[in-house]
Structure 1
Amino acid sequence: MSAVREIEVRLGARGYSIRIGRGLLDDATLWRPLLRGRHALIVTNTSVAPLYQARLQPALADLHWRALALPDGEAHKTLASVARIWDALAELGATRDACILALGGGVVGDMAGFAAACWMRGIDCVQMPTTLLAMVDSAVGGKTGVDHAAGKNLIGAFHQPRLVLADLATLDTLPPREYRAGLAEIVKIGALGDAAFLAQLEHDPMALNAREDAALTHAIAHACAYKAGVVMRDETEQGERALLNFGHSFAHALETVTGYSTLLHGEAVAIGMVLAARLSARLGHAPMADAQRLAALLHALDLPTQPPPGLDADALLAAMRLDKKNRAGTLRLILWRGAGQAFIAADVDADHVRASWVRNA
């Protein structure tokens, strides 16, 4: 096991650790003491279970436990899947001191966290992300939920984990496309609020492309620390935390309109950030050169920067109107004033947003 990087998230009397390193799943001393009761449920998916589930099982031998492997993919991030988690908890006889171990990517973590938030009005959840995107984004901060036909993550709750355990070894089996999708969320941190970090990523993108442990550990720890700071200041997204959605209004619309079948979340975020940066430039908030710089970095990381062809701009705009950041029927987007300077833009003109969906606009 490699040295463990640890980041503390403190929310008043509550708090938890984010632990980052290689081989962490194999060290039960890092997570087993946090299980308070007699019941544990491993929630995973059919892709991850054969790879990593067995590493957790020996430490659960003295408990009443079971595992539930859900179908893999965003298309299964539904209330029906969460109901399967609740059914498993019921069959286990899980009480209020039970714990869910969320072993998988962002879809698993979001659903497991939401199920934990609702079961008996709240039980513990330990996040064990196995994708880069989940390690730097969805596992941290307590946002949980599922998708609805009308839009992404429209049903959910804030429910902080007991622990986030990010084992770099799980990234060794991550397909290249899913790995690259996680890089988009790392770039997002620099783009929205840390220009120096963005410059570091620009200096040596090949280290991240090569999955070098030192570069990965630094990037994951930096992104998690930045997000943790925002969450501590604004847990339920009343202000500053909304900035973490830079690019996401566009991204969620893309995912919704394409039926979650064309783009991975990180790919949609990469496109969304470029669209937000270009819109910012057209509205006079930022230099177009910064949008071009962002697109160049994402391209170097082999991420898309343009929407797929043939999408209907009006359908995309309609999907954006259901975004949770909107207020009183007006479009409220996260734009920027240049690299590292995101801000909340209220009442953005719909015609400008519609025009953003035209490729190369």
Structure 2
Amino acid sequence: MKYLVTGAAGFIGAAVCQKLIELGHVVVGVDNLNNYYDVNLKLERVHRLRACSNFVFRTLDLFDRKEVSSLFKAEKFDRVIHLGAQAGVRFSLENPHTYSDANLAGHISILEGCRHNKVQHLVYASSSSVYGMNKVQPFKESHSVDHPVSLYAATKRANELLSHTYSHLYNIPTTGLRFFTVYGPWGRPDMAPFKFTKAIAEGKAIDVYNHGDMYRDFTYIDDIVEGIVRVQDVIPPKNEAKRDSPNVSDAPYSIYNIGNGSPVRLMDFINAIEDALGVEAKMNFMPMQPGDVPSTWASTDELFKVTGYKPNVDIKTGVGNFVAWYKEYYNV
């Protein structure tokens, strides 16, 4: 099959491309290569993929709807995995228009491409951040997600609503995946695992928010990729289900959490980095940041029912793999 993967130079996108290539599919990867973080890291990910004959990369901004439309018409994709977006909760507080362009207009460009070109299935990235102020955990897809606490989260929730509308109006099968704190080799420099590892390795202090009283459902990249690749084969059918829950619809539309299903105390995650580096961290304990939440915990029962996907990489192994990659890549 032929796949379009957006955000192909990104952390998750590049890993998904690699897996699809290994499975023998033809993959067209697109990314706008913006400078939100080190562009060289993005280019290195793409360079590794370009060694494969069944991969093609194109620099493309999803906000450019004419170019996106031309791409869909020319390539005739069977399926689309849409991971391209402007990431970052804190960055969204200062750069709102970047998120409206990339996450809202860009998502509509992809939906329009799928609508007009008979794409079999659109799988797209949502986020655990949509759960916002929810207090009941673990977070379930049936929970209300109408109170986001960051602009980033609001755009991801809007993506889910837009996708449902297109599924309903045009019978386009769509599946949204709410990612829970993905980490691992080739990870993003703006995320805590990377920032902590870099600072600790350099003997610098790390900022630990909410005075360390935070929990995250850290999910290793290989587990995430396995879940994505499996779920793209689970094409949601149109059905006559009763709409008695926020995640249930008679349209060909699905929403799933994709996470480890086992929250880890932030201090325990930092300790794992310390152990892997053999260095004790210096810490600045800080109050909670605007837009952040104290805890995330994914219920993964629904995804397991349809895919058999169950994460199996523990924190010690995952952090060890990440630190080993970091030390080699940055010659530490």
**Higher relative contact order (Cα pairs below 8 Å, separated by 6+ residues):** 2
Length-normalised TM-score, structure 2: 0.28
TM-score, with structure 1 as normaliser: 0.27
